């Protein structure tokens, strides 16, 4: 899923907006938000100069999602003031489709392409080799 967002206030707002896009119950949304916050406390989720990869694994999810999200202007995360791309992963345990997509993301050219603000959904599918 590719989600482009405008007027994101901060990282906390970004997380909330992404979870809302999943269209789950309020209870599950709240649980996912807590899990993302707990993951942040464990250490940095920044995986490239302008990219973060927040992730949650939960058997409460009805299915898995890999969401590439881009914001219209850079936001602050940790010590970086210029995060523009989030790779949000909400996975059921042992989901091989998510694992293979994440493996693809280790390629430096893929990571750079994900930061292109003009990235289209079809280009994303081509990058992840699922389209």
pLDDT at 65 exceeding the cut of 80: yes
Task: Provide mean pLDDT across the span 54-80.
Answer: 92
Spatial contact of 8 and 75, defined as CB atoms under 8 Å apart: yes
Residue 131: its pLDDT value, please? 42
Residue 83: its pLDDT value, please? 94
DSSP of 87-128, one letter per residue? EEEEE-TT-HHHHHHHHHTTSHHHHHHHT-TT--HHHHHHHT
Whole-number Å distance between alpha carbons of 51 and 85: 5
- Number of folded domains in the chain? 1
CA dihedral 125, 57, 49, 118 (to 10 degrees): 30
Spatial contact of 5 and 72, defined as CB atoms under 8 Å apart: yes
The boundaries of the domain holding residue 79 are 2-127
pLDDT tens, position by position, 14-58: 999 999 999 999 999 999 999 999 999 999 999 998 999 999 999
CA dist 87 → 26, 27, 120 (Å) = 22, 23, 15
Task: Provide mean pLDDT across the span 73-88.
Answer: 90
Angle, alpha carbons 66-69-75 (nearest 5°): 135
Residue 130: its pLDDT value, please? 52
What CATH number should be reported for the domain holding residue 19? Answer: 3.40.930.10
Residue 127: its pLDDT value, please? 82
């Amino acid at each position: 899923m590719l989600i482009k967002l405008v007027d994101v206030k901060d990282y906390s707002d970004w997380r909330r907006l992404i979870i809302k896009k999943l269209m789950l119950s309020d209870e599950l949304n709240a649980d996912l938000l807590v899990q993302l916050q707990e993951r942040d406390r464990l250490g940095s989720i920044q995986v490239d100069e302008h990219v973060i990869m927040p992730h949650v694994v939960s058997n409460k999810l009805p299915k898995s999602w890999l969401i590439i999200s881009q914001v219209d202007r850079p936001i602050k995360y940790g010590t970086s003031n210029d995060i523009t791309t989030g790779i949000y992963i909400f996975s059921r345990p042992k989901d091989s489709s998510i694992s293979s997509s994440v493996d693809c993301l280790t390629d430096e050219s893929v990571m750079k392409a994900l930061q292109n603000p003009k990235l289209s959904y079809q280009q994303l599918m081509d990058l992840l080799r699922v389209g």
